[in-house]
């Protein structure tokens, strides 16, 4: 009980119960994620254009290169199509990095980040919420892409839990790379620069890999890069879990290619820890 200016007893005003740091961070992150999902739903062209590009890759690679590339001595279009799809899936989830960076750069440019800073919320929640919203969008894109892949002849040959585990590893890689996009978005001045900065390094990363062709015929130094590429580890893991390794195909002898599931998890976790730390630190310095 408290007393007013006349000395009368009044009920104490409601005081919110203090929350722990982790609980508040999770709650704030979910609020920011919801805000970004609502925003995405009001701009459907963001989702539509995000789906069109990977669908074009599926169709073009399947029918243009199918039958022209040998995989384990097998040149049939169906063998290459099944070999290809894990690479297309991985490329799709990692290319979402550019969108994550552009979104954060746009929020910075419009001063929205400064408004969030004035609120009693966990500092890392703004970035975590954004990356979680991007993960939801990436999941929807991956579902549509999987349906298109099935229509052009892609098939899995393992149990449902293994197939779902393959998609989970792909989404984990996409989430890890979204933190790289977050750091880029905080480091540039415009959304256009964030988009360019988010794509310029992704092209060599995805093409110097085993995503689209085996590493057998690559020059020695490129072959080593491709086989230790975190992108390649996830692609190889997804192929194993989908049952998409063609007969006669032998995995490279590099450790990530021999243990791709474990390598994929380790790479993704390391990328999340490292780049989330840098992104949150950059966010704090940028809004200090």
Structural element, H or E, at residue 59: helix 44-60
- C-alpha R_g of the chain: 23
Q: What is the pLDDT of residue 8?
A: 56
**11 found inside a domain:** no
Residue (of 241, 239, 240, 249) closest to 214 by Cα position: 249
Residue at 76 is within a domain: yes
Q: For residue 108, tell me if it sits in a domain.
A: yes
Residue 6 lies in a domain: no
Average pLDDT of the segment spanning 50-78: 72
Q: What is the mean pLDDT of residues 203-221?
A: 87
Question: Can you tell me the mean pLDDT for 105-110?
Answer: 77
Cα 166 to Cα 56, 126, 222, 271, 281: the distances in Å are 22, 29, 26, 19, 32
Domain holding 52, by residue range, is 21-286
Q: Is residue 47 part of a domain?
A: yes
Percent over 90 (pLDDT), the chain: 27
Q: How many residues does the chain have?
A: 288
Asked whether residue 10 is assigned to any structural domain, the reply reads no
Residue 109 lies in a domain: yes
Q: Would you state the pLDDT for residue 15?
A: 40
Q: Region 188-208: what's the mean pLDDT?
A: 84
Domain total in the chain: 1
| Domain assignment of residue 53, yes or no | yes
pTM of the model: 0.84
pLDDT at position 57 over 50: yes
Task: Of 52-66, 85-99, 255-269, give the lowest mean pLDDT range.
Answer: 52-66
Q: Identify which has the larger pLDDT, 123 or 272.
A: 272
Of 273 and 50, more confident: 273
């Amino acid at each position: 009980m408290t007393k007013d200016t006349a000395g009368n007893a009044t009920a104490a005003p409601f005081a919110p119960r203090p929350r722990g740091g982790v609980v508040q961070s999770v709650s704030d992150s979910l609020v920011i994620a919801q805000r970004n999902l609502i925003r995405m739903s009001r701009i459907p062209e963001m989702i539509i254009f995000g789906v069109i590009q990977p669908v074009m890759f599926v169709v073009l690679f399947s029918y243009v290169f199918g039958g022209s590339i040998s995989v384990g001595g097998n040149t049939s279009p169906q063998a290459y199509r099944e070999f290809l799809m894990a690479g297309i899936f991985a490329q799709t989830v990692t290319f979402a990095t550019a969108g994550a960076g552009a979104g954060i750069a746009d929020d910075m440019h419009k001063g929205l980040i400064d408004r969030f800073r004035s609120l009693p919320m966990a500092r890392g929640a703004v970035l975590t919420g954004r990356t979680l919203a991007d993960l939801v969008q990436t999941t929807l894109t991956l579902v549509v892409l999987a349906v298109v892949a099935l229509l052009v002849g892609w098939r899995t040959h393992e149990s449902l839990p293994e197939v779902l585990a393959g998609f989970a590893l792909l989404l984990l890689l996409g989430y890890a790379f979204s933190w790289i996009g977050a750091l880029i978005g905080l480091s540039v001045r415009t959304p256009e620069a964030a988009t360019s900065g988010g794509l310029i390094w992704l092209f060599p990363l995805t093409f110097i890999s085993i995503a689209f062709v085996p590493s057998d015929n690559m020059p020695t130094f490129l072959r080593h890069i491709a086989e230790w590429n975190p992108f390649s580890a996830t692609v190889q893991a997804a192929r194993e879990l989908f049952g998409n390794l063609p007969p006669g195909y032998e995995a490279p002898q590099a450790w990530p290619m021999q243990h791709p599931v474990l390598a994929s998890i380790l790479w993704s976790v390391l990328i999340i820890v490292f780049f989330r730390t840098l992104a949150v630190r950059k966010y704090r310095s940028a809004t200090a």
